[in-house]
Amino acid sequence: MAATAVGAPANAGALVPHTRLPVRAAIPQARPARIMIDGPSGSGLSWTALDLAVGLAGDGGRIAVIDTNGGAVLRYADAFRFGVVELYEFAPENLMVALYEVGSRGCDVVIVDDFSRFWSGPGGLLELVDTETARADQAAAKAKLPRPGTSAGWTAVRPRERAALDALLAFPGHVVVTVRAMTETVLQEGGPAGTVPRRYGLKLDQRQGVEAPFDIAFSLLPGGEHHAVVTKSRLSALDGQLLRFDVQPARTVGTQINEWARQGVDCWPKASFYTTAYSPESTIEDLGRLLGQIADTRAQHMAAYNDQPRPDWNEVEGGPIALGALVERHLARLREQAERARRAAPPGPRNQPPRPQPRAEQPPAAPGPAVAAPGGAATDRPASLPVEMPTSGETDPVVLAVAATVEKIRADGAWDDTLKLAAAFMFGSERRALQELVHCEDGRYVELRTLVQTRQSELKDRALFDAA
């Protein structure tokens, strides 16, 4: 997005324009740690990751493992307490869904064991590139054009890879990933037998430079001694260190990293963001504030799930999505509903642009006889659904579905009958009318679902009170 010029500093004599990219004072920020552990098979990757996570999570912290090795991590369930999500297909979208499931449950640490499978495993990036390359070559052959080769495959797959990596780095907690190092066995002179086999870790089974976005990376050495060399660290106390986990358990290093990560101004992504994003009670103002909090904590790419696919956008079903994009979609939906409700309202002084959407704790009250409430207090009970009907001549199918639902509630006398109201609820749900805003007689804009569900609760409470 192009920067927009704003006011110039006073000492510039109004000659130097500013942009909306200000220079701010650098201050420490508390952010979850991102850690990568690599090593050859048998070097203790899973155990080290779990032990490190114990220190990262702290007392009472929750650990989850995204397991890609057919449940192998469950061998350590007697020594560590953790949750597990097992994956057998390794498309980038599957990683995003797993991260959403773990993050939305408030886990403090997620371990991806192992991350290499998303590169070279079934459905992983290399396989996806081959598939897309073959598709592009086939299309080029039909059109009698030169074959594009693997460049076409990578062009198609890279955005998916980037979305999954962004979701991993935006996880609302510490992240630990393990990466396999491909090994080679070499016979060396020495020993009573004359020669002994030595195994060496070579190239990582992942994209070149995969360690770049991580805060700390260390390599477990082959041989089973449980030693590791810190190859990269933004924590200066660990940089270049040889870690001997047979002497100092990995959890003590995890505690040290956790204390370092929590220093500074709080910029920790919060699992509570999901609650606001998915709550049917969230208003336009709530979602606007949430977008600000997401931006402040760099949580735009937190993994989420698109729970409301839009057929008008050629979306047949839901799927993984970045949290920031999801909130923007929900915000757009609320604004569309508010505009439809404004257009559907009868002409008159109430037919004004919608005011801030309120939280509908109780349905709007219309004049009606006072009835005794539980506890002896009197409350006004509306005789019918207190919603203004859409204007005649409206052709929007969504508005017509809302009008049909409102008419069914009124014509059947469902507002005072639990069974009839439940039938009307099903009627409106089938027509996708319940999530729409309606214009109440007192001037408020409230979701029809909220009005009906609140009324159902009232009828249930009244029935219990009458029975008592």
Residue 166 has pLDDT above 90, yes or no: yes
Helices 397-411 and 448-467 cross at an angle (nearest 10°) of: 20
Residue 71 has pLDDT above 70, yes or no: yes
Cα 177 to Cα 77: distance, rounded to the nearest angstrom:
18
pLDDT band at 70; cut points 50, 70, 90: very high
Q: Which residue has the higher pLDDT, 242 or 416?
A: 242
pLDDT the model gives residue 297: 92
Do residues 396 and 402 lie in contact, with contact meaning Cβ atoms separated by under 8 Å? no
pLDDT the model gives residue 149: 84
Residue 142 has pLDDT above 90, yes or no: no
pLDDT band at 365; cut points 50, 70, 90: very low
Global pTM value: 0.71
Lowest-confidence segment of 93-97, 348-352, 385-389, 436-440 by average pLDDT? 348-352
pLDDT, one tens digit per residue, over 448-457 is: 777 787 777 7
Cα 163 to Cα 46: distance, rounded to the nearest angstrom:
25
Percent of the chain residues topping a pLDDT of 90? 40
Q: Report all structural domains of the chain as residue ranges with CATH numbers, in order of start.
A: 29-265 (3.40.50), 272-344 (no CATH), 370-467 (no CATH)
pLDDT the model gives residue 467: 66
pLDDT the model gives residue 18: 61
Q: Which amino acid is at 321?
A: I
Q: Which of 45, 174, 163 is CA-nearest to residue 110?
A: 174
Do residues 37 and 176 lie in contact, with contact meaning Cβ atoms separated by under 8 Å? yes
